Structure 1
């Protein structure tokens, strides 16, 4: 999963004064009506953002995810109980309290789970930098997104992202589109993806970034009901973890779509 640094914009409204009036202007009644006041305040023009809800997770959001305060540990109905217990993911796995920071693009909340902006999370999960020609169709935007941080038995980072959609059809459409992009990514680009196995509602792949010291990851995707789960675990030998990924799918299915 990629973490992207967020930035905030501040707008300032400046009000100027007119030049001194001539005697003639002073004696001429004003033709501009004085704005009415409500509650003792004078209405002033304001800049408003687009309030239309995003409909395509394949298109980047207009504004980056806010990082001005620690995010909540829950996201709507999603909470830590919707993420698999570390023991179900492998021997020695533990939850991890990510402190966050400027490079990570979020402030730590002293827990191992954090709410994500749904559009941003769904968009950032898609593969970027592929050598292959990935599909460009639209994807549904989830209602809620929750991310959990782990450490593997080898002390390497692991991340689980839950995306809760309005219904099962939208969840399946996103997972199908995600898998199609991963399968088409190919090798030789900034990101290379090798498929380990694929089923109707789940898949596993190896993700490698260009660079001699870049981490390798095992990626698992699964849909259950109206929820999609994407789990990525850094590994020194990801090509050997196909069987492990099957076990992870079962652990995810058991909890991700619970109320």
Structure 2
């Protein structure tokens, strides 16, 4: 699932200062007198130096989850197992998601870009997680509207009954309105992705209802993944499982299970 919701870029800015030198005009003089030497007029400055404007780094907090975040620093410590008030208590028990399902401890590592914490859940950057959950590599034209950034993001790893990878992502927003805005924008992008199988990613819609939907992601080099997305209160949950034959019935079955826990305190 886009490497389970993964890729980021960094932008930079530069500034330059231009000092203009003005030459004084020359006037004609009698032939017997030498012409006056041109004078370089330099603006007066304190201490005899040319003033250089102060460049203040952009420290504004990002506000749009639809734009890629800055590349994070290399992880030096394992992430917490909880994301603020969001913890494993907000995730369904494995056996509620399917027969033979179990939690799975992902060890992370240098290639993954994060260090394992010996648990099946880990805190993520809200901006990075919300951005990486969006579809990329589609044949369709994506909507361009902005999306809110969640306050907290928690990722969990499971294994299905057939020992295939599955991932849950919880995005807790400041309020219900922001959660609805992200859910609506997310679904609009999934619908617009297109079903062209020769694209990097194709999305096959399965069904949708009020604040819940299901689709199948088909990657050119992985998958397919059956995916259910649910909005409950101020939380959006995404659950994806790799399967040879993803079914709409499975996605329907996990929606009430997700609803019952994802937005509880």
The normalised TM-score by structure 2 is: 0.78
Unaligned runs of 5+ in 1: 9-30, 33-46
What does residue 68 of structure 1 align with?
Answer: 76
Contact conserved, 2:141 with 2:193, CA < 8 A, in 1? yes
What does residue 147 of structure 1 align with?
Answer: 155
Contact conserved, 1:86 with 1:93, CA < 8 A, in 2? yes
What does residue 2 of structure 2 align with?
Answer: 2
What does residue 118 of structure 1 align with?
Answer: 126
Distance 1:60 1:7 in 2: 6
Contact conserved, 1:216 with 1:236, CA < 8 A, in 2? yes
Contact conserved, 2:9 with 2:69, CA < 8 A, in 1? no
Unaligned runs of 5+ in 2: 11-46, 49-54
Please tell me the root mean square deviation across aligned C-alpha atoms, in Å. 2.0
Matches within 5 A, 1:92-103: 92-103=100-111
Contact conserved, 2:7 with 2:132, CA < 8 A, in 1? no
The one of 204, 208, 223 equivalent to 1:194 is 204
Query: Is 1:204–2:253 an aligned residue pair?
Result: no
What does residue 233 of structure 2 align with?
Answer: 225
Q: Measure how far apart 1:215 and its partner are.
A: 1.7
SS of the equivalent of 2:174 reads coil
SS of the equivalent of 2:170 reads strand
Per-residue Cα deviation, 1:121-180 (whole angstroms, up to 9, x for no partner): 000000000001121110000000000000000000000000000000000100110001
What does residue 112 of structure 2 align with?
Answer: 104
Per-residue Cα deviation, 1:96-126 (whole angstroms, up to 9, x for no partner): 0000112222111000000000000000000
Q: Measure how far apart 1:7 and its partner are.
A: 10
Query: Is 1:164–2:172 an aligned residue pair?
Result: yes
Distance 2:80 2:114 in 1: 11
Contact conserved, 1:116 with 1:145, CA < 8 A, in 2? yes
> After the TM superposition, which parts of structure 1 deviate over 6 Å for at least 4 consecutive aligned residues?
5-8
What does residue 57 of structure 1 align with?
Answer: 65
Distance 1:232 1:186 in 2: 19
Distance 1:161 1:203 in 2: 15
Query: Is 1:242–2:248 an aligned residue pair?
Result: yes
Q: Measure how far apart 1:85 and its partner are.
A: 0.6
Structure showing greater Rg: 2
Contact conserved, 1:6 with 1:66, CA < 8 A, in 2? no
Distance 1:113 1:66 in 2: 19
